[in-house]
Chain A
Amino acid sequence: MATARFRQRSSYINHSILFFMALTIILPLLVLIFNSVKPVEEFGVNPLGFPSEIRFMNYYDAWVNGNYTQIFLNSMTLVVGTLIINLTVSGLAAFSLAALNPRGIQTVVVGLYLLVGISIPAQLYILPLFLMWKSLYLLDTRLGLIIIYSALNAPFATFLIRSYMLQLPTELFEAAKLDGASTMQLFTRVALPLSWPVFLTTALIVSLNVWNEFLFAVTFIITDDYKPISSILFAFQSRFANDYGLVSAASILMAAPIAILFMFFQRRFIAGLTSGATKG
């Protein structure tokens, strides 16, 4: 009896601690959401609370004044372009390491090479890369940034896809080979259709990384018309410094696609992000 009551009480304490910590995350997010529909005049009298009148015009202002159609397209171009290049090169490499020659010297050499690549801080190479991109006319272009993002995400994507492909039964490849499939067909007809779940997870994480990336976006794109959301939002915070309604609405427009994807694919996001860190 006594222990049962004690358990009960300690579980109340547990729940209240957990709930309190959840509030530290939910409340700041609520403030952002409230602000995004708050009229400018109300910020002084009601800085944190729910707005007395909901004003969706902030979103319209952000979209129009911020030229958001263009900016969304820019970010989408970066995401799609990076996905195409990154998944192709990483998929091919993962297939080679997992199915073609898993016990070869390649696994060790490439694995080590990519691991060293992960631990290099971006600051070591960002300036020479900038000068290279300048002389190759890739600076201030979306293609230039797509190439960079594809490379940055390549080690992570290769490892993740490889670890999945290693679990595919080798008999499948043997059987296809007996049927006369070429190596490329082994990849496109056997490995790809079977490993779509890992490609989906990788695509989600790469999209997230590209969508949120800041350092390279702010450095390599100078013209406003080519900027993705992250660096344009950085420009907003000085350009519309006191228009908190507009800046909040713009932030939500940036976070919304990610939040929606997260709702649908929470498990993939969490598994992909944590395995990327713990395997890397």
Chain B
Amino acid sequence: MPKFLTNINAISWYFLMPVLFIHFFVIAFPSILSLLLCLTDWNGFGKINYVGLENFEELFRDRIFKKAVYHNFIWTIMFLTIPVIVALIIAYLLTGIKRGQLFYRLVYFFPYILASIVNCLIWRYIFHPKHGLGGWFENQGIDFLSKSPFAMKETALYAVAWVDMWHFWGFLVIIYLTGMYQVDESLYEAADIEGATKFQKFRYITIPMIRPIFILSLIIIIIWSVPTFDYVYILTMGGPAYSSEVVANHLYSQAFQRMNVGYASTIGVMMFFYVGIIVGFFALLRRLGWEV
């Protein structure tokens, strides 16, 4: 064999081939196809017509898409606040106790490893107007849930988010806890000597010291909340009357119920650009020396 095929550089590429091949085949190539198909009006079979940016124009007129983007935005804001605050407090309280810490950690983390479908079935039952909490209150003679929160326009989105947050916040606890245990103990001792309160120590030592991992968790939440799909699809299918429709659901119904390949690709491309901008933004910040 010629030398350039057997040197270490070439060999190290051979070892990389399988993973690059399978990844290209399943993810990169169809992604590129999507980037091309968004410029067409293809419906899955028949002729492919080039339509330029028509799909994008249509997308900006699409009222349901706008609604879905708005819901995604609310979703992100909810996840950036409620689970983050709860997890920060709980992680901080956990650092203060020794007995039972392992138990609490396991319990909080447990829902994170359960399948979305299982979590949804649990909460659909609990929020059921005739069973679950509704039935229990009814048996006490109290009219509590006359309708499932998943079936009401005003609450559907929040009810779905509740289930997803219930499943997610324990994960954040573990992430923050890891960060908090890396904080130098002597800082707290110094603060004790100065007579700092628990809250002051939390505010002026813990928060600044875990900043890198904290910001990372926020980036993860922003990125993960873009393609959110499972919980909405299982619990409400985006309904009632699109009140819990998110972008991924809109894409899914365009793609697999109406076979609007071009249009669905356009939505996918928008999601990709959005995530790309976020990732690029934080990469830029890091490059500029802003420690994240």
Bound complex: CA of A248 vs CA of B119, how far in Å? Answer: 11
Whether B8 and A101, one on each chain, are in contact in the complex, defined by CB atoms closer than 8 angstroms, is yes
Nearest chain-A residue to B229 (Cβ)? A215
Q: Within 8 Å of chain A (Cβ to Cβ): is B22?
A: yes
Given contacts A121-B272, A234-B234, contact A22 B26 (CB under 8 A): no
Whether B136 and A25, one on each chain, are in contact in the complex, defined by CB atoms closer than 8 angstroms, is no
Whether B34 and A127, one on each chain, are in contact in the complex, defined by CB atoms closer than 8 angstroms, is yes
Residues of A within 8 A of B51 (CB): none
Interface locus among B59-67, B93-101, B149-157, B284-292: B93-101
Given contacts A247-B121, A258-B114, A270-B109, contact A120 B31 (CB under 8 A): yes
Residues of A within 8 A of B271 (CB): 121, 123-124
Q: Within 8 Å of chain B (Cβ to Cβ): is A200?
A: no
Whether A31 and B132, one on each chain, are in contact in the complex, defined by CB atoms closer than 8 angstroms, is yes
Q: Within 8 Å of chain A (Cβ to Cβ): is B146?
A: no
Given contacts A123-B268, A125-B27, contact A100 B15 (CB under 8 A): yes
Residues of B within 8 A of A254 (CB): 115, 117-118
Interface locus among B74-82, B169-177, B180-188, B203-211: B169-177
Given contacts A93-B18, A151-B25, A212-B116, contact A100 B131 (CB under 8 A): no
Residues of A within 8 A of B112 (CB): 273
Which among A24, A100, A128, A212 is the interface contact of B166 at CB below 8 angstroms? A24
Residues of A within 8 A of B202 (CB): none
Whether A274 and B18, one on each chain, are in contact in the complex, defined by CB atoms closer than 8 angstroms, is no
Whether A44 and B135, one on each chain, are in contact in the complex, defined by CB atoms closer than 8 angstroms, is yes
Contact mask A47-58 → B, CB, 8 Å, 1/0? 110000000000
Nearest chain-B residue to A262 (Cβ)? B113
Q: Within 8 Å of chain A (Cβ to Cβ): is B267?
A: yes
Q: Within 8 Å of chain A (Cβ to Cβ): is B123?
A: yes
Q: Within 8 Å of chain A (Cβ to Cβ): is B160?
A: no
Whether A129 and B16, one on each chain, are in contact in the complex, defined by CB atoms closer than 8 angstroms, is no
Residues of B within 8 A of A269 (CB): 113
Residues of A within 8 A of B279 (CB): 119
Nearest chain-A residue to B121 (Cβ)? A251
Interchain Cβ contacts within 8 Å, total number: 268
Indicate the size class of the contact surface on chain B. Answer: 35 or more
Residues of A within 8 A of B275 (CB): 119-121
Which among B25, B166, B216 is the interface contact of A25 at CB below 8 angstroms? B166
Contacting B at CB under 8 A, from A180-197, are 183, 187
Given contacts A24-B166, A132-B30, contact A214 B116 (CB under 8 A): yes
Nearest chain-B residue to A215 (Cβ)? B229
Nearest chain-B residue to A23 (Cβ)? B107
Binding site secondary structure of chain A: helix
Binding site secondary structure of chain B: helix
Whether B108 and A25, one on each chain, are in contact in the complex, defined by CB atoms closer than 8 angstroms, is yes
Bound complex: CA of A117 vs CA of B28, how far in Å? Answer: 7
Whether B15 and A48, one on each chain, are in contact in the complex, defined by CB atoms closer than 8 angstroms, is no
Residue among B113, B170, B267 having the largest count of chain A Cβ atoms under 10 Å = B113
Contact mask B223-266 → A, CB, 8 Å, 1/0? 10011011001100000000000011001100110000100110
Bound complex: CA of A14 vs CA of B115, how far in Å? Answer: 30
Q: Within 8 Å of chain B (Cβ to Cβ): is A72?
A: no
CB distance from A166 to the nearest CB of B (A): 14
Given contacts A101-B9, A214-B230, A251-B121, contact A28 B126 (CB under 8 A): yes
Residue among B14, B34, B105, B108 having the largest count of chain A Cβ atoms under 10 Å = B34
Which among B114, B132, B223, B268 is the interface contact of A127 at CB below 8 angstroms? B268
Given contacts A92-B18, A150-B22, contact A18 B90 (CB under 8 A): yes
Nearest chain-B residue to A208 (Cβ)? B113
Residues of A within 8 A of B33 (CB): 125, 128, 132
Whether B28 and A123, one on each chain, are in contact in the complex, defined by CB atoms closer than 8 angstroms, is no
Contact mask A89-115 → B, CB, 8 Å, 1/0? 110110111001100101000100110
Residues of B within 8 A of A124 (CB): 31, 34, 265, 268-269, 271-272
CB distance from B6 to the nearest CB of A (A): 9
Given contacts A101-B12, A254-B118, A273-B171, contact A123 B248 (CB under 8 A): yes
Contact mask A13-24 → B, CB, 8 Å, 1/0? 011011001101
Contact mask B30-46 → A, CB, 8 Å, 1/0? 11011001000000100
Nearest chain-B residue to A134 (Cβ)? B44
Bound complex: CA of A214 vs CA of B26, how far in Å? Answer: 17
Bound complex: CA of A150 vs CA of B157, how far in Å? Answer: 33
Whether A214 and B234, one on each chain, are in contact in the complex, defined by CB atoms closer than 8 angstroms, is yes
Contact mask A36-77 → B, CB, 8 Å, 1/0? 000000011101100000000000000000000000000000
Bound complex: CA of A110 vs CA of B16, how far in Å? Answer: 8
Residues of A within 8 A of B234 (CB): 214, 234, 237
Contact mask A128-166 → B, CB, 8 Å, 1/0? 111110000000000000011011101100100000000
Which among A48, A132, A215, A258 is the interface contact of B113 at CB below 8 angstroms? A258
Chosen A-B contacts, 7 in total, with CB atoms closer than 8 Å, are A17-B90, A25-B110, A101-B12, A127-B256, A214-B233, A251-B121, A251-B122
Beyond the given pairs A44-B130, A124-B271, 9 more chain A to chain B contacts, judged by CB atoms under 8 angstroms and listed by A's residue number, are: A25-B166, A32-B122, A101-B12, A125-B27, A127-B30, A130-B256, A219-B256, A229-B115, A274-B171
Leading 3 A-B pairs by shortest Cβ distance: A96-B15, A151-B26, A47-B135
